[in-house]
Structure 1
Amino acid sequence: MQNITSSKELKEAIQLLEVEQAANGQLFKEEFLITLESLKPIKLIEGTLKEIISSPYVTNNLLGTGVGLAAGYFSKKVVVGGSGNILRKLFGSFLQLGVTNLISQHPGAVKSFGMYVIEQIFSKKEGAQEQSE
């Protein structure tokens, strides 16, 4: 910065600094609003969910766990049904736990078995259709 020798130069320098301060203040306000918007709880949750969904490992793991829970629940319902027998309910709970753990820990094997069963069902239908023609 140059030396100021007159009051006119001093006033001009002050005006320049005031304009610069106003511009910096406006930039600061804009950055503050952007930061404030990004720190809202819904934005944090949304960002976290996007990261989780975009990760294939987490998605596959959640899918396997969800299928395991559903299969365990349905296996318990099939075994227990509407029974009031305490031993049957206890057995159903253990069965649910076992099926849930088995499916959630080995989703690839369950998927392969499911594909095999579906393939067998459709191959039987195709064979039956060919014989009827």
Structure 2
Amino acid sequence: MKNNHTTTLKEAIQLLKLKQDQELLELKDQYYYTYESLKPVNIIKKAFGQMTQSSEFRGNVLSNVIGIASGYLTKKVLVGSTHNPVKRILGTLLQFVITNVVTKKTEKTIDNEMLRD
């Protein structure tokens, strides 16, 4: 009878040790995962990944790129590469105005397209 209780206790101890080893491995895995996810590089990558998934963000970036490119090209075509300071200032103002107008127009167009879908 005493031998049976001792065997049962030893088996229970062995099971608890196995459980403890398994939980220690899980804890180490969770620690590593948490450590990696809290690195600044990974936080930034995750945030940027979430932003790029947003169709609104992509639409804003696209409209800004189109606006900036339009303004720059307009300035280069109309003003060229002049050394006259007045023409350069007027060219920069023209670039600013064209960039803003095109950006706002493309934002509205992209928003309307997203509403239709």
TM band (smaller chain): 0.7 to 0.9
Alpha carbons 1:79, 1:88 under 8 Å: kept: no
Other structure's SS at 1:106 match = helix
1:49-105 C-alpha deviation (Å, 9 max, x unpaired): 332222111111110011001111111112221211000000001001101111111
- Runs of at least 5 residues in structure 2 that lack an aligned partner in the other structure: 111-117
Higher relative contact order (CA 8 A, sep 6+): 2
The amino acid of 2:56's aligned partner reads Y
Give TM-score scaled by structure 1 length. Answer: 0.65
Residue 50 (structure 1) aligned with residue 49 (structure 2): yes
> What stretches of structure 1 move > 4 A for 4+ residues in a row?
6-13, 108-111
The amino acid of 1:28's aligned partner reads L
Partner of 1:122: none
Partner of 2:24: 25
1:17-41 C-alpha deviation (Å, 9 max, x unpaired): 3222111001111222223333344
Partner of 1:91: 90
Cα 1:50–1:109 shift into 2, 3 Å: closer
RMSD: 2.6
Identity %: 33
Partner of 2:114: none
Cα 1:109–1:47 shift into 2, 3 Å: closer
Residue 81 (structure 1) aligned with residue 80 (structure 2): yes
- Measured in 2, the distance between the counterparts of 1:109 and 1:42 equals 34
Q: Over alpha carbons, which structure has the higher Rg?
A: 1
The amino acid of 1:35's aligned partner reads T
